Amino acid sequence: MKTAFFIEGNPNNPGGYNQILNTTIFIKNSFNKNDNILFITNDINLKNLFKKNDVSCDFYTKNIFEKLTDYILGLSFLLRFLIYFNFKHSFSKFLKKREIDLVIFLSPTEFSRYCDNVNFVLNIWDLDHKKNSPFPEHKNDYTFEKREDFLKSVLFKAFKIVVAHKENKKDLIKFYSCDEKKIVIQSFIPLLPNIPDNELGSLTENEKINLKSIISKNKIIIYPATFWAHKNHKYIIEAVEILKKNNINEFRFIFCGSDRGNFDYIKQLIEKKKLSQLITMYPLVSNLFLKNLYENCFAVIMATDSGPTNLPLYESMYFNKPILYSNKISNDNELKDIIFPINLSDPEDLVNKLKDLNKETIIEKVNKGQIYYQSHCLQKNIHETYKNIIDEFNDVKKKWKFD
């Protein structure tokens, strides 16, 4: 049996991108040649990056005609026409030429539409468009409709669906009536703790100056989050405004992440409220700079309206930092024992949580975070997850095909 892992990603979406990189490296290190594993990517930058990490990738690319075909396939009435004439997409031909039995997509990619009779496994990171539809990122350019069309066309065809948390599984069952037997839970495992020091590079002079300035402050609280509207930076700004009015100036907040349309608004809001001395904004920062922020911060905050889980949650566990986390996006009792829950409807609640933080409670929650991380975020977990999926499919495949 031959299994392919399909890899694509956008570095401007660092959470998903780093998750894919990490998973790929883990898989490469966990499986051996006898497992007959192939990696495929459609991004030349990823291909070159993986080559540096000794991961060999086959490269799939589309010509102009195939791009036009994908556009046509996105039009439902034309799709029915192509199905009637048994049209074969170039991606399915690509898979068959390499005799792929099972392709595992490490992200929720459109390529899962084009597998034809090759079975596939799909990673679904979230269903936030169903729960947070007012946000522009779910409204603009028919994003909601596109996601719905995509999910409805692939979920029931997938051999397995991989999600990060049992809450994601509940969402799939609730919103799409998915068969719970086909849903597999594999926790996010952050890339940052697993990057070797010799691959982190060095800080630029500007980064060194900024880091020195940051570290000299009393209590740094970092929010490593892309500047989407649903990341809710505004909530933190409102809480900092209250802190300032109450003359509580021991905390300094650091926002860092790529701009997905909300960076300028948040920057203007900080300037309007005259909070620049208490909140510092950075665009997407280097992994080394981010690692230094984690190592030197007092706490991490996740004020996001999306979830139930996000990479900074696990990164904070690894770096032994307390995390202030939204109280409404997870019903997991194990995680509730680790986080300091904050009410996103009430910035006063964040203020009170900060004032009440004490060393004993921080140590207790950090220790529970370490235990959780060691249980859910190890390389062997990913190996076991995908090995079990491959073995199960291999048993099914024997009903019609010999190895």
User: Domains of the chain by range and CATH?
Assistant: 3-189+379-397 (3.40.50.2000), 201-376 (3.40.50.2000)
Run of H or E residues at 253: strand 251-256
Q: Bridge partners of 161? A: 122, 183
Is the model's pLDDT at 293 over the cut of 90?
yes
**Hey, is 265 helix, strand or coil?**
helix
CA atoms within 13 A on the CB side of 164: 24
What gap in Å lies between CA 381 and CA 186, rounded to an integer? 8
Residue 378 has pLDDT above 80, yes or no: yes
Contact 54, 22 (CB under 8 A): no
CB 390 within 8 A of CB 3: yes
Those residues with Cβ within 8 angstroms of residue 219's Cβ, 6 or more apart along the chain or in another chain? 250, 251, 252, 298, 299
pLDDT 10s digits, 219-261: 999 999 999 999 999 999 999 999 999 999 899 999 999 998 9
- Kindly state the average pLDDT of the residues 339-348: 95
27 pLDDT more than 60: yes
Distance between CA atoms of 394 and 115, rounded to whole angstroms? Answer: 18
In this prediction, residue 72 has a pLDDT band, given cuts at 50, 70 and 90, of low
Q: CA 319, CA 321: separation in Å to the nearest integer?
A: 6
What is the residue-averaged pLDDT of the chain?
Answer: 88
Dihedral class, residue 257 (left if φ above 0, else alpha if ψ from -120 to 50, else beta)? left
Cβ pair 351, 317 in contact under 8 A: no
pTM value is 0.90
Confidence of residue 175 (pLDDT cuts 50, 70, 90): very high
Residue 25 is predicted with a pLDDT of 84
Number of other CB atoms surrounding residue 277 within 10 Å: 10
The helix/strand/coil state of 219 is: strand
Helix axes 263-272, 233-245, angle to 10 degrees: 10
The answer on pLDDT for 11 being more than 80 is no
Reduced to 3 states (helix: H, G, I; strand: E, B; else coil), residue 6 is: strand
Residue 373 confidence class, pLDDT cut points 50, 70, 90: very high
SS3 of 172, please? Answer: helix
Q: How far is residue 178's CA from residue 120's CA, in Å, rounded to a whole number?
A: 16
